[in-house]
Chain A
């Protein structure tokens, strides 16, 4: 069945003289030769040597490629920390309306009243869900939101004449936290987590001083646990004049249940491509709106939408703003989908998202913990971290073995070996948009794998289109573009 053309590259399919897109002649009077319009050394001798293909070539090539992917539309994707929930089709259609998709970012505001109203309402909705009323929709992704928020905090401290140079984050934090801190000009410092995955208060105290600008916390944590001490952590950081940043990657657990602004956060980002169902697109685009307290609001990046007597407008009077961190308004296409998602759910539905996500996760945890222990307890929020260490000792089957063997059973692998604080981890997040039948089938697959011949499991995956890619050679002798033989 597999089409052999699928894995050839465009440049290998190319044949001189083939064409797909054609354009009409310009049909204008008084045309001058191009070499009169441009200096000779500015013109290329020939157009770039792109592949030459017929339109059906292109369609068949990419259609066949698509079939080599797992996706939410085709498979259960219990990828911890990534919130791979259903991407509603209605949102795709509505985000594609010409009054949304074909709007130029530099149009006069009088021609933008629909999109500006949508963005204004979204700012308010995110402010309500977070409990942090000042909102910037500008950043392009979660990590970009972290960076923009840290820059916002830096501007706030500069304005107050305070010199603060350090950003703290727990050892279980996403790698983007310390990386963003460094790009924003801070020193990144790690705080230990305790056996329960919560911030180690003694280590926190040891590292808290008057140079601390921000403590970045992920709550619920990357272990899928709500840190019961979060308010106490915030109290201690605030007592030293620092700010709390909440990494909103795990908001799918607490929508309408608890608000970061109510448990001590001063700043946070949302991942609308996780929590609010924006499709992941094979790794992007996302968006990274940030929400902050009133005190930090003036420093947020531009642009922000306001409502005036004349309608909706971009606020031009924000002298303390850090400015832009990207071009134009933001990843509006993703934000429009988030808006559709929020309106589809309403207040009760949004709370139900978290209730069902937490129910599904706890059900999975309860069903598998006898074979894959969950070191951090019998309860979780929207995800949990199971350990394959015991299974590795008794049967020689590792977390990675299980992940790869699940692919043979038609399930995407959970996140493996993250967070770095727990050995042999499988981080499992089912989301609310999966059925009990799917969860049961996933459990059955796990049970079977743990009983299979370890040699068979080590050899997994055995049914995928490729197996055992040599990642070491890929990194050691990188081939990152097509090249003809010998070139």
Chain B
């Protein structure tokens, strides 16, 4: 029970030094009527052996990507994590340290943050990156909040209907109570139609939020959308997939103002949804509006290069109600993991992962079409695609998949009733040809269209 040091003798010595007779006396500053008169109603303490057994029992009640072939995506992906990532991030000097407020004894974390920021800039082609936010959805809302202030247009944002529905829900949760309209560009098949989107951009609009590749895995016409927004003084926030940048044009090259992403794919485990890694990078003009921590390079005594937390006058601990954001933490450990991951992959490794995902996803899509499923449209896609069940019963297929050891895809009906017969299928570099063939077999078994 617990991780305490003090022996009965220690406690007696310490109480004497304090000048009280008992530990209870130390709590007398709490009015008696506010103190608990019963023990907490919690389960009894467990030793490490007992706790381990308990946790193993709970863990055994879950299926997971280690014992079930995972074709699920929708914002979290079963990418391969090299051993080096886990080994290095498990060093106590990293994971048991605090925010680097004392730079002299935090150069490891500060330099790692600076490395992360540099890698994210190299990855995205954007000018600057912060040291990370909570996750992809919160990075998106923070990007939008930056645009609202920068554009001095607080009343309206436009978001593509092909942005991850969870991200859109988060935008609504934050913005609608503030009286800010969240206008959704309806999806046209599996992408948005540029003309429709442009027709929704008005002089009250602060920004357009797009996802590319989008929630359905498909490419949007980003350049045309950026051009239309630029003409109207509207900012563009792009949600991107960091793995896709091994092949696809970078957000910086596409001309967007703020690029945000879920960084889970960069060496972070699935963890039932978190903690993950919110990536936020932007053009230099937005630097002082960024939320969250930022590491900066400077020099110390002897002209020695070193790193500190910088631009802190943006932050809540200095500016309080005038801060650019209420965000206090970054995801230090997960940003570190992403930095290690990207430095292991390098340009060639990232390209290989992206190409592997693309090829395997396209092979899977072809096999499923052969099996009688239909794609939602014919837009170019990256590692994820939507297919419709000819029998209209994807829940049945999900159940059958589980019996055959497969998580076959994410059902889309609860977010979009028009897609009640659809599955979103993601294929990472970990999937083998045999696994994809098995997916096609399972899904083909009932295919009326075969």
The answer to whether A and B belong to the same complex is yes
Shortest Cβ distance from residue B346 to the other chain A in the assembled complex, whole angstroms: 5
Quick one: which of B31, B297, B355 contacts A26, CB cutoff 8 A?
B355
Chain A, 449-484, contact with B by CB distance < 8 Å: what is the 0/1 string? 000000000000100111111110111001111100
Query: Cβ of B295: which chain A residues have Cβ within 8 Å of it?
Result: 480
Which residues from chain A contact B301 at a C-beta distance below 8 Å? 466-468
Interface mask (A202-220 → B, CB under 8 Å = 1, otherwise 0): 0000000000000000000
Instruction: Evaluate whether A101 and B299 lie within 8 angstroms (CB atoms) in the complex, with A285-B275, A327-B276, A344-B46 already known.
Output: no
Q: Choose from A38, A69, A79 the contact partner of B93 (Cβ within 8 Å).
A: A69
Interface pair B82/A21, CB less than 8 Å apart: yes
What 0/1 readout, one digit per residue, does chain A (17-41) give for beta carbons within 8 Å of chain B?
0111111101111111010011101
CB atoms of A53 and B313 under 8 A apart? no
Q: Verify if A445 is at the interface (C-beta below 8 Å from B).
A: no
Q: Is A246 an interface residue (CB 8 A)?
A: no
The interface bits of chain B over 42-81 (1 if a CB of A lies within 8 angstroms of the residue's CB, else 0) are 1111101001101111111111111110101011101000
Which residues of A sit under 8 angstroms from B287, Cβ to Cβ?
478, 480
Identify the interface centre among B30, B122, B223: most chain A CB within 10 Å of its CB. B30
Contact of B10 with A by CB under 8 A: yes
Q: A63-B88, A114-B62 are in contact. Are A332 and B272 (CB under 8 A)?
A: yes
Q: Does B347 contact A (CB under 8 A)?
A: yes
A52 touching B36 by the CB < 8 A rule? no
Contacts known (A279-B96, A474-B297); A106 close to B112, Cβ less than 8 A: no
**A390 on the interface (CB 8 Å rule)?**
no
Docked complex Cα distance between A404 and B301 (Å)? 15
Given contacts A10-B115, A283-B99, contact A481 B334 (CB under 8 A): no
Interface range, A side: 35 or more
Q: CB-CB contacts of B124-162 with A at 8 A, as 1s and 0s?
A: 110111011011111000000100000000000000000
Tell me if B330 is interfacial: C-beta within 8 Å of chain A: yes
> Contact between A334 and B169 (Cβ–Cβ < 8 Å)?
no
Query: Is the pair A282, B352 in contact by a Cβ cutoff of 8 Å?
Result: no
Q: A111 to B29, Cβ gap below 8 A?
A: no
**How many Å lie between the Cα of A54 and that of B302 in the bound state?**
31
A228 at the interface (CB under 8 A from B): yes
A326–B317 Cα distance when bound, in Å, is: 23
Q: Which of A97, A110, A142, A344 touches B1 (beta carbons < 8 Å)?
A: A344
A239 within 8 A of B: no
Q: Within the complex, what minimum Cβ distance (angstroms) separates A245 from chain B?
A: 14
Is B232 part of the binding interface, using a Cβ–Cβ cutoff of 8 Å? no
Residue interface bits A316-329, CB-to-B below 8 A is 1, else 0:
00000011111111
B78-130 with Cβ < 8 A to chain A: 78, 82, 84, 87-88, 90-100, 102-109, 111-115, 117-119, 121-125, 127-129
Task: Evaluate whether A346 and B74 lie within 8 angstroms (CB atoms) in the complex, with A101-B271, A363-B17, A481-B118 already known.
Answer: no
Q: Does B249 contact A66, Cβ atoms closer than 8 Å?
A: no
Known interface pairs A327-B166, A351-B39, A413-B102. Does A115 touch B62 (Cβ–Cβ under 8 Å)?
A: yes
- Range of interface residues on B (Cβ < 8 Å): 35 or more
- Closest-by-CB residue of A relative to B409 is A106
Scan residues 269-317 of chain B and give those whose CB is less than 8 A from a CB of chain A: 269-276, 287, 293-302, 304-308, 310-313, 315-317
A32–B359 alpha-carbon span in the complex (Å)? 8
Q: Are A114 and B59 in contact (CB under 8 A)?
A: yes
Does B164 belong to the interface (CB within 8 Å)? yes
B78, B302, B333, most chain A CB atoms within 10 A: B333
A65 in contact with B122 (CB, 8 Å): no
- Chain B residues with Cβ below 8 Å from A88 are 3
* With A44-B253, A144-B134, A301-B173: A50-B247 Cβ-Cβ less than 8 Å: no
> Which residues of A (153-209) have their CB < 8 Å from a CB of B?
154-155, 158, 174-176, 178-185, 188
Q: Chain B contacts of A325 at CB under 8 A?
A: 138, 170, 173-174
**Which listed residue (B124, B127, B274, B328) contacts A331, Cβ 8 A?**
B274
Contact of A465 with B99 in the complex, beta carbons under 8 Å: no
State the CA gap A62–B95 with chains docked (Å).
13
Q: Which of B315-364 contact A (CB under 8 A)?
A: 315-321, 323, 325-334, 336, 339-340, 342-356, 358-360, 362-363
Q: How far is the CA of A15 from the CA of B385 in the complex (A)?
A: 37
* In the bound complex, CA of A53 to CA of B115 (Å): 14
Contact with A along B1-42 (1 / 0, CB 8 A): 111111000110111011110010011011101111001111
Known: A98-B67, A176-B316. 19 other contacts (CB 8 A): A32-B362, A58-B84, A69-B94, A74-B92, A74-B93, A108-B399, A108-B407, A114-B59, A117-B61, A175-B318, A284-B333, A334-B274, A352-B1, A355-B23, A358-B27, A359-B18, A363-B18, A435-B10, A478-B310
24 pairs of residues in contact across A and B, judged by CB atoms under 8 Å: A20-B349, A24-B356, A30-B366, A44-B253, A47-B245, A50-B345, A90-B51, A114-B58, A121-B43, A183-B174, A257-B36, A258-B34, A281-B333, A324-B169, A325-B173, A328-B135, A329-B272, A332-B274, A343-B54, A347-B40, A358-B27, A366-B17, A403-B102, A481-B121
Counting from the closest, the 5 A-B pairs by CB-CB distance are: A328-B273, A99-B59, A346-B45, A73-B92, A281-B333
